[in-house]
């Protein structure tokens, strides 16, 4: 089988933030060379240190180790992808998935491999099961357990495939002891509050515009929205390279796009506004301020009194 990345958090290139150039006295841009030297902590004036020992992090400390200890602590294993078994799908909630998601496909030139993946995906879908695999992505890298989720395609040009999601080990899960919402009567919502919450959910639905064919239009589709930070940087680079200002993006188009990411639309707020206001009144909701803000306000008040 072949494994391809399906979902991965994208970030701006480091070259966009760190430059290897500088400006001289005449304003000319020139290349920059970086050299790092290490000195002894107890005697910085002594000769420069050229050989450093490797160390493993242990909490906030670094523990120096020799070659024999490093070979013992380093995991040596070949690249592999092994099926461990199957389990009910309900035992794998989405919040336990770690890192990136990948797609598992049969080899393009191997019909038997494609049929095997398709048969497995359809059987997992029918039985409501999830496959558990042990993966080593690269030689000498750490192994991890993954969940194979079935994805049966309804389109002719997209084959059946499996989605691989990383599963946590025991050390990766954080356990918190929270009190139950049923522990006190004051936390149990009344029938009126429940009905009001249902009204808000219905009124703030993002799928409410009906098409002529009877379908619905979803207004906010996360995987179709660009990251605003990357969008702004790409726009800036395009202006620098072309010398043409993309002022149209600074107008209503960009404002409307960013407004989608900043909160509910005016249309949704107009529809759900009365219910939200009623819920806020019932819950006695008040805007909170951080300790730093309160300290800043008190400091400004003291300064104003001194001036008076």
pLDDT band for position 189 (50/70/90)?
confident
Which range (53-62, 133-142, 240-249) has the least confidence?
A: 240-249
Beta strands in the chain (DSSP E): 2-7, 21-23, 29-31, 55-58, 61-64, 80-88, 98-105, 129-136, 144-151, 161-166, 207-210, 216-218
Mean pLDDT within 253-274? 73
Q: What is the CA radius of gyration of the chain?
A: 29
* DSSP conformational letter for 263: S
The answer to whether 39 touches 46, Cβ cutoff 8 Å, is yes
Of 126-130, 152-156, 197-201, 234-238, the one with minimum mean pLDDT is 234-238
Q: Is the pLDDT of residue 244 over 90?
A: no
* pLDDT, greater one: 14 or 53: 53
- Average pLDDT of the residues of the chain: 80
SS3 128: coil
Contact 134, 80 (CB under 8 A): yes
Residue 297 above 80 pLDDT?
no
Q: What is the mean pLDDT of residues 13-39?
A: 78
| Local structure of 168: helix, strand or coil | coil
Q: How far apart are CA 85 and CA 134, in angstroms?
A: 10
Nearest CA-CA partner of 96 in 44, 149, 139: 149
Please report the pLDDT score of residue 149 as a whole number: 94
278 phi and psi, to 5 degrees?
-65, -40
Give the pLDDT confidence of 93-112 residue by residue, as tens digits.
888 898 888 999 988 888 89
Task: State the pLDDT at residue 302.
Answer: 59
**Which tops the pLDDT comparison, 201 or 185?**
201
The reported pLDDT for the residue numbered 208 is 63
pLDDT band per the 50, 70, 90 thresholds, residue 216: low
The string of pLDDT tens digits covering residues 126-176 is 999 999 999 998 888 889 999 999 999 888 888 889 999 999 998 888 888
CA-wise closest residue to 81 among 164, 183, 178, 150: 164
244 versus 24: which is more confidently predicted? 24
Residue 20 has what pLDDT? 80
Q: List the helix and strand counts (H, then E) for the chain.
A: 7, 12
Range name among 69-73, 78-82, 119-123, 291-295 with the lowest pLDDT average: 291-295
**Which residues are CB-neighbours of 273 under 8 A, at least 6 positions away?**
none
- The reported pLDDT for the residue numbered 164 is 94
- Side-chain half-sphere exposure of 122, counting CA atoms within 13 A: 10
DSSP label of 93: -
Beta bridge partners of 56: 63
Q: Is the pLDDT of residue 279 over 60?
A: yes
Least confident span in 29-38, 207-216, 218-227? 207-216
pLDDT more than 70, % of the chain:
79
pLDDT of residue 118: 93
Can you read off the two tokens belonging to residue 284? Answer: 């006695």
């Amino acid at each position: 089988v072949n494994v391809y990345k399906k979902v991965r958090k994208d970030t701006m290139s480091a070259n966009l933030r760190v430059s290897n150039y500088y400006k001289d006295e005449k304003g000319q841009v020139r290349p920059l060379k970086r050299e790092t030297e290490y000195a002894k902590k107890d005697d910085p004036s002594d000769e420069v240190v050229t050989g450093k020992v490797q160390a493993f992090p242990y909490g906030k400390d670094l523990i120096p180790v020799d070659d024999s200890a490093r070979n013992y602590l380093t995991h040596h294993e070949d690249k592999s992808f092994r099926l461990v078994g199957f389990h009910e799908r309900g035992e794998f909630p989405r919040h336990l998935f770690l890192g990136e998601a990948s797609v598992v496909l049969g080899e393009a030139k191997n019909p038997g491999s494609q049929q095997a993946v398709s048969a497995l995906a359809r059987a997992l879908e029918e039985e409501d099961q999830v496959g558990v695999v042990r993966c080593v992505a690269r030689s000498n890298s750490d192994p991890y357990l993954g969940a194979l989720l079935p994805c049966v395609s309804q389109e002719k040009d997209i084959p059946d495939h499996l989605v691989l999601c990383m599963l946590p080990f025991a050390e990766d899960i954080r356990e918190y002891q929270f009190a139950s919402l049923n522990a006190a009567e004051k936390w149990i919502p009344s029938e009126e509050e429940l009905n009001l919450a249902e009204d808000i959910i219905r009124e703030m639905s993002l799928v409410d515009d009906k098409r002529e064919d009877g379908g619905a239009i979803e207004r906010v589709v996360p995987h179709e929205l660009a990251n605003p930070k990357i969008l702004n940087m790409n726009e800036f680079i395009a202006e620098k390279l072309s010398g043409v200002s993309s002022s149209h993006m600074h107008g209503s188009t960009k404002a409307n796009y960013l407004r989608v990411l900043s909160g509910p639309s005016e249309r949704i707020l107009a529809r759900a506004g009365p219910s939200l206001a009623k819920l806020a009144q019932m819950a006695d909701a008040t805007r909170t301020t951080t300790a730093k803000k309160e300290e800043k306000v008190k400091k400004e008040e003291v300064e104003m009194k001194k001036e008076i």
